[in-house]
């Protein structure tokens, strides 16, 4: 194995461990000593990859969001699915996974948004970038659904993407309180199968269309 490849693997291990730790303990509750002990990396080696804990936190955020962006894009480009069905499949699979994990973790972005303030500008910028990337991908899917005639046209895809992203974050917090997947199902049902639906498209939440 080349030195470059080894360094890449170690960096990815640090980021994977960082995602797990920050999701479980938050930014302020996560110490570098525990992080490094968890994967057997000496403290001095950490600074070969990251200049500070704050830079590490920002990279963890970018590392965390990437699989969600790819997964959402895979659903939206699946040839057998229209855009609305793709969005429902994506969120439905996330809800199933959270239920299998017994509602632990939730969303790292949502967890950190409530914890990281102006004193952590690098992390805040990374969170803003991740949220915007995710929202833009949702907008892409909703815009495609509008062109396919399954989503209402009197609201912009951007406005609906903002609402969907914000509502999903709130539903994740409610899920953790209730220890139930029901808030997630209701969120997606009321929006994707109700409020966002084009007039005349049937669904269990269709009466919510205005």
Q: Are 197 and 151 in contact (CB under 8 A)?
A: yes
Q: Above 80 in pLDDT, residue 91?
A: yes
Can you give the three-state secondary structure of 78-126, one letter per residue?
A: CCCCCHHHHHHHHHHHHHHHHHHCCCCCCCHHHHHHCCCCCCCHHHHHH
pLDDT reported for residue 7 = 63
Per the domain annotation, does 87 fall within a domain? Answer: yes
Give the CATH number, domain containing residue 67. Answer: 1.10.357.10
Per the domain annotation, does 9 fall within a domain? Answer: no
Tell me how far apart the alpha carbons of residues 206 and 135 are, in angstroms, rounded to a whole number. 24
pTM of the entire structure?
Answer: 0.85
Tell me how far apart the alpha carbons of residues 146 and 159 are, in angstroms, rounded to a whole number. 13
- What is the arithmetic mean of pLDDT over 108-119? 78
Q: pLDDT of 18-67, one tens digit each?
A: 999 998 888 888 888 888 887 788 877 888 889 988 999 999 999 999 99
pLDDT bucket at 95, cuts 50 / 70 / 90:
very high
- Average pLDDT score, the chain: 88
Other Cβ atoms closer than 10 A to 48 = 11
- What is the arithmetic mean of pLDDT over 128-144? 97
Query: Look-up: residue for tokens 């994740």?
Result: 172
Range of the domain at 67: 52-208
Nearest residue to 24 via CA among 96, 95, 108: 108
Per the domain annotation, does 45 fall within a domain? Answer: no
Residues in the chain: 210
- What is the arithmetic mean of pLDDT over 120-128? 89
pLDDT bucket at 6, cuts 50 / 70 / 90:
low
Collapsing DSSP states into helix, strand and coil, what is residue 197? strand
- What is the arithmetic mean of pLDDT over 176-204? 89
Q: Above 70 in pLDDT, residue 1?
A: no
Tell me how far apart the alpha carbons of residues 171 and 182 are, in angstroms, rounded to a whole number. 9
Per the domain annotation, does 106 fall within a domain? Answer: yes
Is 182 or 48 the better-scoring residue by pLDDT? 182
Per the domain annotation, does 77 fall within a domain? Answer: yes
Classify the phi-psi angles of 102: left when phi > 0, otherwise alpha if psi is within -120 to 50, otherwise beta. Answer: left
Domains in the chain: how many in total? 1
């Amino acid at each position: 194995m080349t030195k470059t490849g080894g360094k890449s693997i170690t960096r990815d291990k640090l980021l994977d461990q960082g995602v797990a730790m920050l999701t479980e303990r938050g930014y302020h509750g996560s110490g570098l000593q525990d992080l490094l002990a968890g994967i057997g990396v000496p403290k001095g080696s950490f600074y070969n990859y990251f200049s500070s804990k704050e830079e590490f936190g920002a990279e963890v955020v970018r590392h965390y969001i990437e699989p969600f962006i790819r997964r959402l894009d895979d659903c939206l480009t699946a040839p057998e699915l229209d855009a609305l069905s793709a969005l429902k499949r994506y969120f439905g699979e996330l809800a199933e996974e959270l239920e299998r994990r017994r509602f632990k973790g939730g969303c790292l972005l949502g967890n950190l948004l409530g914890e990281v303030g102006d004193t952590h500008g690098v992390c805040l910028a990374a969170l803003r970038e991740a949220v915007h990337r995710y929202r833009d991908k949702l907008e892409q899917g909703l815009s495609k659904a509008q062109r396919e005639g399954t989503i209402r046209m009197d609201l912009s895809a951007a406005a609906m993407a903002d609402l969907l992203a914000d509502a999903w974050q709130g539903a994740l917090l409610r899920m953790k309180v209730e220890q139930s997947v029901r808030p997630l199902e209701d969120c997606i049902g009321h929006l994707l199968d109700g409020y966002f639906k084009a007039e005349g498209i049937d669904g269990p939440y269709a009466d919510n269309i205005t």
